[in-house]
């Protein structure tokens, strides 16, 4: 469970990004976070994965007070969370398979189990046939699938995607959201999607948290009430 209590965030340069946020997200939930540019959505994600520390209040994820984590404990905590970005961030000199395997290697997964798991997630994101392709040989949608595969390889409890469809056409965007729904169903992963794309929210209705100017302005359960 994610529990955000009275959280405010002011950056070092004095920018107020979030004001007194209160949110609870249950395990296996599927949630959209929407809001205009500069409203504080990415900041909220950075507080969740431990990149930033709240200026006030506390962020509790799976019982861990994320803001109070010591620098050296952040990596272990972060294995609970997979993050996917708009720009994929794959290693250009590694194949799709190697990119996913990399995420498992750096956390010291045993080698035989590693190969099995890589094949499994590549299959889950439906890109098995491109295992040996380099990122430059893949389309945007395919690269995003590899990025998602990498993010879930470690079986994180929570998958966060910051604008995962930002660079994709509507059809490809739709496929990615359907993939995330499948991961939510099959791996019981909590999914948080930051998006500008209201079409997506309309076609795949879920709980939607709207942020504006650092405030939560709406928190609508699936179906819109």
Partner 1 sequence: MFHRFFRHIKEGFIGVGRHFGMAISSASAVMITLVLIAVFVILTWNIQTVTSTIESSISIVASIDYEAESESSRSNIETAIKAIPGIDTVEFRDKDEEFTYYAEMQGEEERDFYEQYRSSNPFHDVFLVSVEDGLDIQEITSQIATINGVYGVYDGGTNTYTLVSLFANIRIFGGALVIALCLLATYLVYNTIKITIASRKDEIWIMRNVGAKNGYIRAPFLVEGVIIGGLGSLIPIILTIVLYYLMYDNLGGSLFGAFTLVEPFPFILYVALGLFVTGIGVGFIGSYISVCKYLRLRR
| DSSP H or E segment with residue 43 | helix 41-48
Sign of CA dihedral 97, 100, 106, 108: negative
Interface positions, 70-109, toward partner 1 (CB under 8 A): 71-72, 74-79, 82-83, 89, 91, 102-103, 105-108
Residue 217 contact among partner 1, Mg ion, ligand ATP, none, beta carbon within 5 to 8 Å by kind: none
Closest CB to ligand ATP among 7 and 101?
A: 7
Distance CA 32, CA 195 (A): 7
φ, ψ at 91 (rounded to 5°):
-80, 120
Give the side-chain half-sphere CA count within 13 A for 199.
Answer: 9
Closest CB to ligand ATP among 15 and 26?
A: 15
Smallest gap from residue 32 Cβ to ligand ATP (A) = 13
Closest CB to Mg ion among 42 and 173?
A: 42
Residue 12 sits in the site that holds partner 1 (CB under 8 A): no
φ, ψ at 209 (rounded to 5°):
-105, 120
List the beta strands (DSSP E) in 48-195. Answer: 56-61, 64-65, 81-85, 158-162, 190-195
Residue 134 sits in the site that holds partner 1 (CB under 8 A): no
Edge-to-edge strand list for the sheet holding 207-212 = 81-85, 158-162, 190-195, 30-34, 207-212, 215-220
Closest CB to partner 1 among 79 and 188?
A: 79
Among 5, 23, 28, 51, which residue sits at the site for partner 1 (rule: CB under 8 A)?
A: 51
Distance CA 189, CA 187 (A): 5
Binding mask 185-224 for partner 1 (x = CB under 8 A): ----------------------------------------
Binding residues for partner 1, per CB under 8 A? 49-53, 71-72, 74-79, 82-83, 89, 91, 102-103, 105-108, 111, 150-151, 153-154
């Amino acid at each position: 469970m994610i529990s955000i209590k009275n959280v405010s965030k002011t950056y070092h340069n004095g920018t107020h990004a979030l004001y007194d946020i209160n949110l609870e997200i249950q395990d296996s939930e599927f949630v959209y976070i929407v809001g205009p540019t500069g409203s504080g959505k990415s900041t909220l994600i950075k507080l969740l994965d431990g990149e930033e520390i709240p200026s006030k209040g506390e962020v509790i994820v799976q019982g861990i007070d994320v803001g109070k984590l010591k620098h050296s404990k952040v990596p272990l905590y972060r294995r609970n969370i997979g993050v996917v970005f708009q720009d994929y961030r794959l290693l250009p000199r590694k194949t799709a398979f190697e990119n996913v395997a990399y995420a498992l290697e750096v956390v010291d997964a045993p080698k035989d189990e590693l190969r099995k798991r890589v094949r499994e997630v590549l299959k889950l994101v439906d890109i098995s046939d491109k295992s040996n392709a380099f990122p430059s040989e893949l389309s945007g949608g395919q690269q995003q699938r590899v990025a998602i595969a990498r993010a879930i390889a470690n079986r994180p409890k929570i998958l966060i995607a910051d604008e995962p469809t930002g660079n994709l056409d509507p059809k490809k965007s739709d496929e990615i959201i359907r993939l995330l729904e499948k991961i939510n169903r099959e791996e019981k992963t909590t999914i948080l999607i930051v998006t500008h794309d209201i079409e997506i929210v309309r076609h795949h209705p879920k709980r939607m948290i709207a942020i504006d100017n650092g405030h939560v302005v709406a928190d609508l359960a699936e179906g819109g009430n």
